[in-house]
Amino acid sequence: MSPKSRIIEALTFCLKQKSTKDFKFNKATAYAGLSDLYEYYALENKTEQFFEAFEQLCTIPNDYLIGDNPMLDSFIIQLEKVFHPQKKEKPFIRPTPWWEIERSRLLALAEDHAPCYVYHSPTQTAQAQKLLSMQSIDTLFYAIKANPHPSILKTLEKEGIGFECVSIQELQQISSLFPHIDKKRILFTPNFAPKIEYAAAMDLGCYVTIDNLYPLTNWPELFKNREIIVRIDPGVGAGHHKHVVTGGNESKFGIAQNDIEQLKTLTQEHHIHVIGLHSHSGSGILTPELWEQTALMLTSLLKQFPRAQFINLGGGLGIVEKPGQKHLDLKQLDSTLLAIKSNFSHVQFWMEPGRFFVAESGIILARVTQCKEKGEVQFIGIETGMNSLIRPSLYGAYHEIVNLTRLHSEPSGVSHIVGPICESGDTLGYDRILPTTQEGDVLLIAHTGAYGHCMSSYYNLRPPAQEIILES
């Protein structure tokens, strides 16, 4: 039996598990379904499991019943979902990304400047306007650690966005760029910072957040008769990787809820005024329920801190990065928060996103240096790697990768995309489906506007990709 015949036979069996007697099988659909399922497993770095399960599926007897083999059951269920989604929802159609529209300009830029980051200012403006349309949020701050490029900061400042800073250097960056800015548009939220940084922020006149009892216990004179915001640990965290989870006992961030009574005692004893409550759970969240839980938790503490005027819901707003993901429903989020806020008319709601503002506005352009086959594994090497973008190595982050030179060519195979850095972890994408790729082709790595260049290094003495601004 040919491989194609085995595929058809296996797929037919899978679908007939729960289908009617009148089921009609379409071979083209089957091939497409298998491709979708493979991509699902590839995104989870489970291609070996895919092939193992598929081989078993092709040989199992016709009387096989769900429940006999956990791995095979999972495979069948996932395939069933590909062909017969449990919920008939209107599919999310991703708008054409800006970089596809600007393809010709980007290819021209790559000739002289690759490897390079390119930041698209109109996309930053558009993302800011999405959040500004939320009626439940009174004030927005941009977490500048995501990308402190001066052009980005100027774009967001024009939209009325404030700035969340986590170091004295970030405070200095904002003060230098915007010497006349209202200091109440600056939020300082350090973590384990030295005493001198808290003192500098207090003198500057911006909002200051405390996320640890230590400063209040050991430096009470610094905060006496001052107004502060306190960061409360939500108790649980969330996010796409353990290194972006910022809640729970294993996280270094926030004051434990069990310590709230001690927090009250310290602030009352030293005449420290708590004017705001803050919490943050993690990054890359696509479900509105997280902020609902945060808002409910923080508002439940308002009676214990009667001078509190602000509820800072943190950031972590996710963007669609992988095929099949659903976008964050901002309208639902807004409606949910408005319902909670209606019971607290004297309290403002804040948010401090980073990635949401800038991730989609940034890409990396890099030329292909070499292509290599090693057994059944194909590698495509490009001229920069984890020295420019460490997120895939550090977080297991997924970034869409396309061959911009051959953007509309037919896919020809699966490859690992790697850089020139002498580390096994210098892989930017595993099992990516690309067209036939050659030396000199320009690859594009998407969604790199956040936590890209600002986390880069000169490892191996290779300079990271330079930064270029595309205004329109």
What is the sign, positive or negative, of the torsion defined by CA atoms of 270, 275, 281, 284?
A: negative
Give the span between the Cα atoms of 271 and 223, in whole angstroms: 8
Please pick, among 165, 206, 371, 422, the residue that the annotation labels catalytic. Answer: 422
SS3 call for 329: coil
Give the span between the Cα atoms of 155 and 161, in whole angstroms: 9
Instruction: Please state the φ and ψ torsions of residue 166, each to the nearest 5 degrees.
Output: -125, 5
Q: Where are the alpha helices (DSSP H) in 250-359?
A: 260-269, 289-299, 330-341, 355-358
> What is the b/e burial string over 408-429, where b = at least 16 CB atoms within 10 angstroms of the residue's CB?
eeeeeebbbbbbbbeeeebbbb
Please give the C-alpha separations between residue 143 and each of 50, 130, 132, 460, in angstroms, as whole numbers. Answer: 39, 16, 15, 30
If you ran DSSP here, which 8-state letter would residue 253 be given?
-
Exposed/middle/buried for residue 13 (C-beta within 10 Å: 0-12, 13-18, 19+): middle
User: Could you tell me which of 364, 332, 315 has the C-alpha nearest to residue 464?
Assistant: 364
Exposed/middle/buried for residue 356 (C-beta within 10 Å: 0-12, 13-18, 19+): buried
Q: Where are the alpha helices (DSSP H) in 178-259?
A: 195-204, 213-218, 220-223
Catalytic residue check, 14: no
- β-strands 413-418, 442-445: how paired? unpaired
If you ran DSSP here, which 8-state letter would residue 145 be given?
G
Task: Dig out the tokens for 451 from the structure.
Answer: 């936590």
Q: Where are the alpha helices (DSSP H) in 302-418?
A: 330-341, 355-358, 391-395
Task: Dig out the tokens for 257 from the structure.
Answer: 């809820």
Give the span between the Cα atoms of 282 and 315, in whole angstroms: 8
Task: Dig out the tokens for 129 from the structure.
Answer: 């306007």
CA 459 to centroid of chain Cα atoms = 24
If you ran DSSP here, which 8-state letter would residue 95 be given?
P
Task: Kindly list the catalytic residues.
Answer: 422
